[in-house]
Amino acid sequence: MSGRGAGTASSADRLSDIDHGILQLLQSHRVLTTPQLIVLTSRPERTIDYRLSRLRAGGLVDRTRPYAASGSAPFFWWLTRNGARLIEGSSPAPGRQAPNPLFLRHTAAIAGLYVALVDIGQTVGLTITEWRRDEQSWEDWSVYGRTGRLRPDAYLQATTSVDGTPGTVGAFIEVDFATMDQARLRAKVARHRRYCADRVWKDRHPCCPALLLATTSEARVNRFLAGVERDRVEPSPYASKDPLRYTELVAACATVRAPEEAVCAPVWRSSVGDAPTTLIQLLGPEVRKYRAVVARVSAQRAAVERHEQVRLVHALVADPGPLAGALGDEECARVIRHLFDRPGLHSSHREEWASHQLDLVIGTHRWWVDDDGRSGWPPATSSGGERLEGGLSGSLGPTGRDAAVQHRRHRS
């Protein structure tokens, strides 16, 4: 074993479970501050300080303390190349060991939102169930030859209670320290709008994710939201007929440096003239919107199924005599005539029966009607008829069979 490999292995042998936990957290979030590590490990500050000092002495982590305009900033920690090799089994690409200050600040801010959600989210009614950062949250799609991509800083999914029932909310997170111009921010909104319009979310997420921006000032929030409103496209007059229609949510706050306020304080707005609201109040209506989508889709599916039932019954009613004869069973033939060839029988009665015997109707139709929609032709095999005989005979039970017999006596 090489000297470098032996040194890493020796370091690993001396690590405690707390040490491994700290290294795993730094690998997951890339950069964390000392207070963030205290929250995520649920350990006393003294313990975390001691463990970090030992890991740093072992060459597995490193730190810096950025300049602060007032007071003192906490230490920012990250894995060294040796630390990354120990956790990931491979070393990152060669380069400067210490990340640049902009990267540190941006990455720690992303982690800060996650830590705040873990620490106080449940107290305001949000339980985080999924968190993906950077590349793990990115999405690509293609619809009718058009490609699209989202590159958020993170993806959040959480559960909450709305109207007394548990629901799921999701959001793409963008962190901005006034380093992105408004054109770039508006381009991100346009891509998110396309993502929602193309319905990419429905096969990937339990609901349509919102787009949430945490930035530095109320002036930037106002400019951002004004651009969102200006670029919003009027809905198509046909949109109301689309059961999957979904008005996307885009909102912003000016508390990028105070993630706890972003989680619990009334700092979010979705339009320039809105009064600030809390995150849970902002996302709660999204659950209702998604439930409305589910209700519309379910109603449309039920209408399609109902239409199919009617169509299949009408196809069988077209020639009940040949169908009854083709079954090769007198009892089944009587049931067919009772259902489809009885004088004065209203079509709604047949359709009501079909709604309770849909599998049987579909099976009969497949057996009886050819691919071109022609009925009355000899079925290819008798196995389907044998299955239908049992199904038809049992579908009405003894009462139905007695009714069929009485129907035959009446006609004779």
Q: pLDDT, tens digit, for every residue of 337-383? A: 777 766 666 667 766 776 677 677 777 777 666 555 555 444 444 44
pLDDT band with cut points at 50, 70 and 90 for residue 232: confident
Residues 139 and 189 in one domain: yes
Q: What is the pLDDT of residue 208?
A: 87
- Mean pLDDT of all residues in 55-84: 88
Q: Look at residues 64, 99, 134 and tell me which one is the last residue of a structural domain.
A: 99
* Average confidence (pLDDT) over 137-159: 94
Residues 266 and 292 in one domain: yes
Say which residue, 343 or 124, is predicted with more confidence.
Answer: 124
Query: Looking at the domain assignment, is residue 307 inside a domain?
Result: no
Q: Is the pLDDT of residue 236 over 80?
A: no
| pTM (whole model) above 0.85 | no
CATH number of 87's domain: 1.10.10.10
Task: Look up residue 269 and give its DSSP letter.
Answer: B
Q: 299: pLDDT confidence band, cut at 50, 70 and 90? A: confident
* Burial degree of 248 (CB within 10 A; 0-12, 13-18, 19+): buried
Question: Strand 250-253 vs strand 210-214: parallel, antiparallel, or unpaired?
Answer: parallel
The pLDDT value given to residue 384: 41
Tokens of 14: 């001396």
Residue 45 has what pLDDT?
A: 96
Same domain for 228 and 170: yes
The pLDDT value given to residue 170: 92
Write out pLDDT tens, residues 384-399. 444 444 445 444 444 4
Instruction: Look at residue 43 and tell me if it is in a domain.
Output: yes
Considering only 91-95, 207-211, 222-226, which range has the smallest mean pLDDT? Answer: 91-95
Of 24-33, 181-190, 320-329, where does mean pLDDT reach its minimum? 320-329
Q: Which of 99, 134, 157 is the last residue of a domain?
A: 99
Q: Do the domain assignments include residue 277?
A: yes
Average pLDDT for residues 22-33, to the nearest whole number? 96
- Structural domain includes residue 306: no
Q: Who contacts 182 (Cβ-Cβ below 8 Å, separation ≥6)? A: 223, 224, 227
Quote the domain boundaries for residue 244.
110-297
Q: Which of 17-21, 238-242, 362-366 has the lowest mean pLDDT?
A: 238-242
* Amino acid occupying residue 132: R
CB 280 within 8 A of CB 127: no
- pLDDT score of 188 more than 90: yes
The answer on 95 and 47 residing in a single domain is: yes
User: Which residues have CB under 8 Å from 63's CB, separation 6+?
Assistant: 52, 56, 75, 76, 77, 78
pLDDT over 80 at 50, yes or no: yes
Q: Do both 61 and 150 map to the same domain?
A: no
Q: Please give the full DSSP string across 216-258, using - where no structure is assigned.
A: S-HHHHHHHHHHHHHHPPPPPTTGGG-TT-----EEEES-TT-
Asked whether residue 46 falls in the same domain as residue 121, the answer is no
Q: What is the pLDDT of residue 408?
A: 37
Tens digit of pLDDT for each residue in 325-343?
776 667 777 777 777 766 6
Position 203 scores a pLDDT of: 83
Same-domain check for residues 89 and 130: no
Q: Are residues 146 and 287 in the same domain?
A: yes
Residue 21 in any domain: the answer is yes
Judged against a pLDDT cut of 90, whether residue 219 lies above it is answered with: yes
Same domain, 123 and 226: yes
| pLDDT of 1 over the 60 cut | no
Residues 6+ apart with CB under 8 A from 337: 320, 321, 324, 404, 407, 408
Average pLDDT, integer, range 82-107: 77
Share of the chain above pLDDT 90, in %: 48
The answer to the question of residue 310 being in a domain is no
Banded model confidence at residue 55, pLDDT cuts 50, 70, 90: very high
Query: Higher-confidence residue: 13 or 251?
Result: 251
Looking at residues 103-109, what average pLDDT do you find? 95
Among residues 99, 128, 161, which one ends one of the domains? 99
Rounded Cα distance between 57 and 62, Å, is: 9
- On the question of pLDDT at 251 being above 50, the answer is yes
Residue 123 sits in the same domain as residue 237? yes
Residue labelled with tokens 């040194």: 7
**Comparison of pLDDT for 300 and 272, the residue scoring more:** 272
Given pLDDT bands bounded at 50, 70 and 90, which one contains residue 145?
Answer: confident
The verdict on 149 and 55 lying in the same domain is: no
What is the total count of domains within the chain? 3
Pick from 212-226, 286-300, 334-348: least confident = 334-348
Are 92 and 124 in the same domain? no
Assess if residue 308 is contained within a domain. no
Q: Quick check: is 52 in a domain?
A: yes
pLDDT at position 250 is 96
Q: Share the mean pLDDT of the chain.
A: 80
Is the predicted pLDDT of residue 403 greater than 70, yes or no? Answer: no
Write down the pLDDT at residue 287: 84
